[in-house]
Structure 1
Amino acid sequence: MTTRSGSATYEGFGKDGKGHVSTQSGILSDTQYGFNSRFEEGPGTNPEELIAAAHASCFTMALSFALAKEGYADGKLETTAKVTLDKDGDGFTITRSALDLKATIAGIDPAKFEEIAAGAKANCPVSKVLNADITLTHSLNA
C-alpha cells in the first residue's frame, strides 16, 4: 500500500479568500489557489487542474506499463486531460475528464494499440476514482 498526501489552507472566505496548496514531495509548496484561479483567469492553480494533471499522468503511466508488458520498448506518449466542472444545484460536480493522447510507437498495429489503450484507461487508478464520463481520443504515429 502506498499513501501520498497533499495539504491546503484557506484564509478568508468565499470569493475574498486566498488559499495555498502543497504536496508531500514539495513539488507544489504553498502554491496559490482561490476563486480567481478556479473560476476566472487569475494566477495560481485549482483543484480541477490538479485532477487533470493527475489523470493525464496516471493514464500515461498505466499505458506505458501496459505497452511494456506487451513487449514494446520504445516510443513517446503525450496525454492532455481536460476536466469539466459543471454547476450542480447549489454546488458543482466534475462531470467529465477527456483524455487526448498522441502516441509514437514503432511497429504497433493500430487495432492492438487501441486495445492496449482502452485497457490502460479502464485500469488507471485515477480513472477508477473519478465519477465522471471519461473519454479517450488518440492519434498514433508508428
Structure 2
Amino acid sequence: MKRKATAVWKGAGKTGKGTLSTQSGVLKDSNYGFSSRFEDGEGTNPEELVGAAHAGCFSMKLAFVLQENDFEAEEINTESQVILEDGAIKEVFLITKVKVAGLENDKFTEMVNDAKDNCPISKLLDAKINLEAELL
C-alpha cells in the first residue's frame, strides 16, 4: 500500500502560506502557515495531522488487538496531543476511552499498551508516547 500527500508553500517561513492535499481528497488545498502552526490562526498544521494519524492508527490497532483476544469494542475514542518543542515532536499523549463488554482491567491494560507500542505511527515517531486509558 502506498499513499501520498502534497504540500505547496509560497513565500518566507513566517509570512508565507501553504496548502496541503491528500491523494484521497480528504484534504484538498487545506491552508496552513506560521499562525496555524505556532499561534491560534485558522488552518491546519503538520502536528495536528500527526495527532489525527496517531489517534486513528492507535484506535484501529487496538481494535485488532481486541479482536485477536476475542473481544470487540463498542467504541474506541482516542485523543492525541502532540507536543512540539524546540523544533521537534518530543512527546505525544494518547488519551483513550474504550467501551467493551466482559474485559477485565489487567487484560485491558496489556492490550492498550500493545496497541500503543505496535501501531505504525507509534513506531514512526521518535518521541515519548504517554498513554492514559479508561475502560468503560
> TM-score, normalising length from structure 2?
0.98
Cα RMSD (Å): 0.7
- Which residue matches 2:35? 36
Secondary structure (helix, strand or coil) at the match of 2:14 reads helix
Answering whether residue 10 of structure 2 is matched by residue 15 of structure 1, we say no
Answering whether residue 115 of structure 2 is matched by residue 116 of structure 1, we say no
2-side partners of 1:39 and 1:50: how far apart? 14
1-side partners of 2:131 and 2:108: how far apart? 13
- Which residue matches 1:63? 62
2-side partners of 1:37 and 1:73: how far apart? 38
Give the ranges of 4+ consecutive aligned residues of structure 1 lying more than 6 Å apart after TM superposition.
Answer: none
Q: Which runs of 5+ in 2 are unaligned?
A: none
1-side partners of 2:28 and 2:100: how far apart? 36
Q: Out of 33-42 and 65-74, give the one that drifted further.
A: 65-74
What per-residue deviation string (whole Å, max 9, x for no partner) do you get for residues 9-65 of structure 1?
011112110000001100000000000100111110000000000000000000001
The number of equivalent residue pairs is 136
What per-residue deviation string (whole Å, max 9, x for no partner) do you get for residues 85-114 of structure 1?
001xxxx01001110001111110000011
- Which residue matches 1:128? 123
1:115 is displaced (CA, Å) by: 0.5
2-side partners of 1:36 and 1:74: how far apart? 38
> TM-score, normalising length from structure 1?
0.94
1:74 is displaced (CA, Å) by: 4.0
Answering whether residue 45 of structure 2 is matched by residue 50 of structure 1, we say no
Q: Which runs of 5+ in 1 are unaligned?
A: none
Letter paired with 1:57 = G
Letter paired with 1:65 = F
